[in-house]
Amino acid sequence: MKRGLVVLSVACLMLGGVASASVQKGDVILDFMAGWTQQNLSDDAGGGDISVYFGAVRPGIALTDNIRVAGVAAIAHFSASGFDATVWTLGASGEYVFMPANTLNPYVGGEIAWANGDTDAGDADGFLFAPRVGVLYTLNRTNNLFGEYQYQFWTGDIGDVVDNGHLILVGIEHKFRAGQ
């Protein structure tokens, strides 16, 4: 009985310390991530799929304990089956973290970015829209692991080349605490 209470007490202390690492209003956040994307080419671009592995950084801030926003800037080069494209994007993303004080923090969000692509078919631009879902796992006071899925769809001239895509990210976020 005593051993069980000691184990329970230690577990509560450990989890209590981890829960204090939650997302908090004013935190400045820097995500380091790696991922995989599959983009579906339109019939006008020859059809088929392109798969790419990549790395990225995403800076952001927690506006409240639940709401976070971030800047988005990325560049990617796709080359497959005789199709080449270099695409860069600039925009913003946001997310709602459901349980910011827990060790596991599920979230939903979205991203909107202006995109420009230099493709075999010429220059193209438009917008990228990407609803997303993910989960944060608290490691310590300033770091979380995360996994995320995005469904991406494109508009404008670039939407004539790339119809839609799927993106899977894994990464670590580092939080710079407000007031530190």
| pLDDT tier, 20 (very low <50, low <70, confident <90, very high otherwise) | very low
CA gap 36, 62 in Å, rounded:
26
Q: Tell me the per-residue pLDDT of 57-106, one tens digit each, with 9 for 90 and over.
A: 899 999 999 999 999 888 887 776 676 778 888 999 999 999 988 899 99
Question: Judging by DSSP bridges, how do beta strands 67-80 and 104-119 pair with one another?
Answer: unpaired
pLDDT at 173 over 90: yes
Residue corresponding to tokens 């860069």: 88
- pLDDT tens for 22-56 read 678 899 999 999 988 888 877 777 777 888 888 88
Neighbours of 177 (CB within 10 A): 12
In this predicted model, what pLDDT tens digit does every residue of 137-159 receive, in sequence order?
999 989 999 999 999 999 998 88
Instruction: Note whether 129 and 153 are within 8 A (CB).
Output: yes
Res 22: pLDDT: 66
Q: What CATH fold (topology level) applies to the domain 2-176?
A: Porin (2.40.160)
Give the C-alpha separation, 75 to 54, whole Å. Answer: 10
The pLDDT value recorded for residue 179 is: 52
Strand partners, 106: 135
What is the predicted pLDDT for the residue at 8? 32
Q: Range with the lowest mean pLDDT among 14-28, 81-95, 162-176? A: 14-28
Tell me the two tokens of residue 103.
């060790």
Q: Does residue 20 or residue 104 have the better pLDDT?
A: 104
Confidence of residue 171 (pLDDT cuts 50, 70, 90): very high
